[in-house]
Amino acid sequence: MLDSPYTLEDPERLLVDLNAAQRRAVTHAGPALLVVAGAGTGKTRVLTRRVAWLIAQGIEPWRVLAITFTNKAADEMRRRLEALPGGSQVWAGTFHRFGSYLLRRHGDEIGIDTGFTILDRDDQISVVKSIYRDRGLETSDLRPVDALSMISHRKNGGGGRTPVDLTHPGAAATFDTVAEEYARRLRTAQLLDFDDLLLEALRLLQESEAVATQVRERFAHVLVDEYQDTNVVQRDILMNLLGPDAGITVVGDPDQSIYRWRGAAVRNILDFDQDFPETETVLLERNYRSTARILAAAEAVIAVNRERHEKRLYTEAGDGAAVRVIRARNGEDEARIAAHLAATWQREGRRLDHIAVFYRVNAMSRGVEMALSQAGLPYVVVAGTEFFQRREVKDALAYARLVANPKDEAAFLRIVNTPRRGVGAASLQKLRVLADARGIALAEAACSARESGMSKRAVAGVERLLALLDRVRAMPRAPVAPILDVLLTGSGYYATLEDSDDILDRSRLENVRELVAYAREFEKREPEGDLATFLERAALVSDQDGYDGESGRVTLMSVHSAKGLEFPCVLIVGAEMNHFPHGRNLGDPASEEEERRLFYVAMTRAREELVITHAARRQTYMGDEPRVASPYLNVIPEHVLAREDHAAWGAPVEWGAGAGELPPPSSYGEDIVRETGSSLAPGMRVQHPYFGPGLLESLGGDGSDERVTIDFDTHGRKQILLRHARLERLS
DNA sequence: ACGTGGTCCTTTTTT
DNA sequence: AGGACCACGT
């Protein structure tokens, strides 16, 4: 690009298109800088420019560490910095990748074998479940996933409340056993879970003076993006990373902290100036992304939160279109409306990849996907990890993991009998006994299968597998794709899928082949990369990594995955009480605030068009249920909204493939509320947006003072001012 | 050892 | 409505 600002010839060029606050951030010279950057204020740009600025000031690129929230963001930053001499030597990546990087090089200093493999969530669950089986634990005392979240909670510094209630008899004892055995198994199998990557990296910096010194001497400046979503372990890593002359820059927005549930501590950003002395704070408040109406709507929602530090976003963009709130009859209609809107936008000349649909839970993508297909609109679901979590892909990777780490228990359990080798539960039980007796990893004990007392057939099966693995390990410095090919062919994995007449196996085969293709691509992209690196990349993909902004398709994703992105047109579906905010997060003020921040994140992704939909009824696993609009929709000032009700008029409406207009909406809001109010009578079952269902006992007052008494199922008897409450009648 | 069918349970978000 | 788990039969 001709006018790229990324040049060292004239560092001032790095600043020309920045506003005053952004410039202050980019050029700051002190030891610690906190950039509080509201949504759409250009923080990514500031961060990248700052790296370039530091390099222009004479810091060697390889002495810069940039921690991003996704690999995608790291790639993006590297791409921009490439224009600078040495720019590609900046270390850019996620915290987990940095942890892995340190441990791969220096782990042995603290007793971690550098040939470790990484355990993902599915693997974690399978390890825990196998502990339950081997130790005779009861899942009714404590669910394996709950044991796991407690283990994780404990490891990452335990922000927030304890995720699981251990007062249930047997739960505490079960947890202790699981936690202890889990740690032991990971250690003997040279496995690190996601939390370990951070925790052990921290321990490395704390316990090895040599490594700490080396790292501190290397990095002259550390930059961290999305600081509001870091946890205390990550903060401690930073504190241990900085040499006396090193600088640190963090960028974030407390209002966009959405990962408390996995240990993120908003306190990190709020207390940054106490953790790092001589901090200067720069506030970015000018929003370059959204129209004034969208911004006003979003601000109204976030303003309800009490735990925040005030900041005021402003935009010089025009008012823009009204934020549309659409009430649909049910979930299917809602999805059809979403597809219809996308089709309309497209007809108006919008690119499909400028349109995004966000949902609170991934399960909601299904309905939207169906509606889009029926409308003939191409779409893409952004869930990068999804591919790597498929059974067949995990199987293939498990083979590779065993090659890299012969002790990898999770990988071993996964494929020891896939395809069938006659090694069932009974055989594995015997192997476990042997492994425990010798204090070695399960997969290691497999080498002594003969001595375990397994059946002849099982021993033969295990030995066939071991021979294959040995053969591959003997391939000297082979690239990854051939390794995978030999494994999948030699094991009979390909053959099994090819010979199957199950339709699903067709696509499984394709997925496995796609993985091999991915491996080839990896080799091209990172010629230096070995098998361990490949496996690390595969283990640490993030959902956004696969996102292509120019796919030409409508983009579907969870709100969490949408973090950091922006789209001209945004649709938020499922804006209903108990769904968004999610029912599980109601009742605890801190969780409720996080839900609201999540909604705020969703809204602030939009540049020009924001449409929020909800359904009057929805099919849930409990059956067809009446739904109440999200309370968030009640705090948005009406003058920025356009409410449309497609549920009020009886008959279902067919919206064909982008044909025609939506049926004339009835307006709702004030009118409907009063209408509903006057039709209320004692004895009715009603639904309140905050208090849920209840029995209407009496009506009183008049005019604007009209009030009702309701005995709520879960909140007891309350008097409610009718003009404040959006009551709905339940059948 | 392994496939089948029935039952129960569950439903958030992800590196 | 879908998946995970168990019991049973081969």
Q: What is the pLDDT of residue A527?
A: 86
- Could you tell me which residue, A725 or A422, shows the higher pLDDT? A422
Which one-letter DSSP state was computed for residue A665? P
Q: Strand B positions with any atom < 7 Å from protein CB?
A: 1-3, 10-15
Instruction: Give the distance, in angstroms, between residue A538 CA and nucleotide B4 C1'.
Output: 35
pLDDT of residue A386: 78
- In this predicted structure, the answer to whether residue A672 has a pLDDT above a threshold of 80 is no
**How sure is the predictor about A402, in pLDDT bands with cuts at 50, 70 and 90?**
very high
pLDDT bracket for residue A225 (50, 70, 90)? very high
Between the CA of A240 and the C1' of B14, what is the distance in angstroms?
26
pLDDT of A433 over the 60 cut:
yes
Tokens 């839970």 correspond to: A361
As a whole number of angstroms, the distance between CA A463 and CA A479 comes to: 25
Rounded to whole angstroms, how far apart are CA atoms A519 and A513?
10
Residue A728 clears pLDDT 60, i.e. is over it: yes
Q: Is cis: bond before A378, omega within 30 of 0?
A: no
Q: Identify the pLDDT of residue A226.
A: 96
Q: How far does the CA of A303 sit from the C1' of B6, in Å? A: 51
Q: How confident is the model at residue A705 (pLDDT cuts 50, 70, 90)?
A: very low
Provide mean pLDDT across the span A273-299: 96
Which tokens go with A101? Answer: 């990087």
Q: Is A256 labeled as catalytic in the residue annotation?
A: yes
Catalytic one among A22, A27, A41, A44? A44
pLDDT digits over A207-222, tens only? Answer: 999 999 999 999 999 9
Tell me the pLDDT of chain A averaged across its residues.
87
- Residue at A391: amino acid letter: R
Marked catalytic residue, from A41, A43, A293, A566 = A43
Kindly state the average pLDDT of the residues A550-566.
93
- The spacing between the Cα labelled CA in A599 and the C1' in B11, in angstroms, equals 20
In the predicted structure, residue A109 carries a pLDDT above the cut 80: yes
Per-state percent for chain A, helix, strand, coil, to nearest 5: 50, 15, 35
Does the pTM surpass 0.75? The reply is: yes
Instruction: Find which nucleotide's C1' atom is closest to A361's CA.
Output: B12
A355 versus A664: the higher-pLDDT residue is A355
- The predicted-structure confidence for A476-489, as pLDDT tens digits, reads as follows 778 899 999 999 99
Number of C-beta neighbours around residue A501 at 10 A: 6
- Which residue out of A360, A596, A605, A607 is catalytically annotated? A605
Average pLDDT over residues A19-23: 95
The question of whether A225 is a catalytic residue gets the answer yes
> β-strands A641-645, A716-721: how paired?
unpaired
Peptide bond preceding A482 in cis form (omega within 30 of 0): no
Instruction: Check residue A615 and give its pLDDT.
Output: 94
Smallest Cα–Cα separation from A571: which of A359, A291, A364?
Answer: A359
State which residue has its Cα closest to the C1' atom of B9.
A621
The answer to whether the Cα torsion of A26, A28, A34, A39 is positive or negative is negative
Say yes or no to pLDDT of A695 above 60.
yes
**Is residue A228 among the annotated active site residues?**
no
Write down the catalytic residue from A146, A181, A226, A253: A226
Nucleotide nearest A455, CA–C1', reads: B1
Query: Pick from A55, A115, A120: which is nearest to A85 by CA?
Result: A55
Task: Name the protein residue, with chain letter, whose CA is nearest the C1' of B10.
Answer: A621
**Catalytic: A236?**
no
CB A686 within 8 A of CB A727: yes
- Point out the catalytic residue in the list A200, A225, A593, A608: A225
Nucleotides on chain C that have an atom closer than 7 A to a protein CB are 1, 5-6
pLDDT at A651 over 60: no
Which one is predicted more confidently, A418 or A488? A488
Q: Which residue's CA is nearest to the C1' of nucleotide B12?
A: A361
Task: Give pLDDT, residue A652.
Answer: 41
Look at residue A278 in the predicted model and tell me its pLDDT: 94
List, for residues A563-615, the tens digit of each pLDDT value: 999 999 999 999 999 999 999 898 889 999 999 999 999 999 999 999 999 99
A54 vs A32: CA distance, rounded Å: 13
Q: Give A451's pLDDT tier (boundaries 50, 70, 90).
A: confident
Percent of chain A with pLDDT strictly greater than 70: 88
pLDDT band at A632, cuts 50/70/90? very high
pLDDT reported for residue A158: 61
- pLDDT of A669 above 60: no
Q: In b/e form, how buried is each residue of A230-252, taking b as 16+ CB within 10 angstroms?
A: bbbbbbbbbebbbeeebbbbbbb
Distance A264 CA to C10 C1' (A): 52
- C1' of B3 to CA of A422 (Å): 14
Q: What is the pLDDT of residue A139?
A: 83
Handedness of CA A523, A529, A531, A534 (dihedral sign): negative
- For β-strands A554-558 and A286-287, DSSP reports them as unpaired
What is d(CA A82, CA A269) in angstroms, rounded to the nearest whole number?
A: 30
The integer distance in angstroms from the CA atom of A422 to the C1' atom of B4 is 19
Assess whether pLDDT exceeds 70 at residue A3.
no
Task: State, as a whole number of angstroms, the distance between the CA of A432 and the C1' of C10.
Answer: 28
Band (pLDDT 50/70/90 cuts) for residue A715 is: low
Question: What is the spatial distance, in angstroms and rounded to an integer, between the CA atom of A80 and the C1' atom of B1?
Answer: 57
Nearest nucleotide (CA of A133 to C1'): C5
Higher pLDDT, A137 or A60: A60
Predicted confidence at residue A170, as pLDDT, reads 77
Which residues touch A644 (CB under 8 Å, ≥6 apart)? A324, A325, A326, A327, A662, A665, A667
Closest nucleotide C1' to the C-alpha of A620: C1
User: Of A174, A230, A234, A256, which is the active-site residue?
Assistant: A256
Find the Å distance, CA of residue A628 to C1' of nucleotide C8: 46
Lowest-confidence segment of A339-348, A370-379, A382-391, A610-619 by average pLDDT: A382-391
Query: Which nucleotide has the shortest C1'-to-CA distance from A582?
Result: B12
**Selected residue with higher pLDDT from A288 and A667:** A288
Q: Please, which pLDDT band fits residue A650 given cuts at 50, 70 and 90?
A: very low
Are A219 and A145 contacting, i.e. CB atoms less than 8 angstroms apart? no
| Nearest nucleotide by C1' position to the A541 CA atom | B15
Checking if the pLDDT of A617 tops 60, the result is: yes
* A82-96, A195-209, A716-730: range with lowest mean pLDDT: A716-730
- Rounded to whole angstroms, what are the CA distances from A167 to A128, A175, A666, A673? 20, 11, 51, 44
Residues A112-169 have pLDDT tens digits of 999 999 998 888 998 998 898 888 888 888 888 888 988 998 888 765 556 676 777 7
pLDDT score for A658 = 36
Positive or negative, the CA dihedral A723, A337, A343, A557 is positive
Instruction: Note the pLDDT of residue A82.
Output: 87
Which nucleotide has the least CA–C1' distance to A144? C4
List of protein residues whose beta carbon is under 7 A from strand C:
A 129, 139, 619, 621
Q: Is the pLDDT of residue A172 over 90?
A: no
CB within 7 A of nucleic chain B: A 70, 94-96, 120-121, 143, 145, 194, 258, 261-262, 360-363, 383-385, 417, 420-427, 455, 457-458, 540-544, 558, 560-561, 582, 584-585, 598, 620-621
The better pLDDT of the pair A537, A651 is held by A537
Nearest nucleotide relative to A428: CA against C1': B1
Which contiguous run of DSSP H or E holds residue A45? helix A43-56
Task: Examine the pLDDT at A696 and tell me if it is beyond 70.
Answer: yes
Nucleotide whose C1' lies closest to the alpha carbon of residue A619? C1
Distance A452 CA to C5 C1' (A): 28
Query: Which residue did the predictor score with more confidence, A679 or A193?
Result: A193
pLDDT at A245: 93
A664 pLDDT tier (thresholds 50, 70, 90): very low
Question: Gap from A423 CA to C9 C1', in Å?
Answer: 20
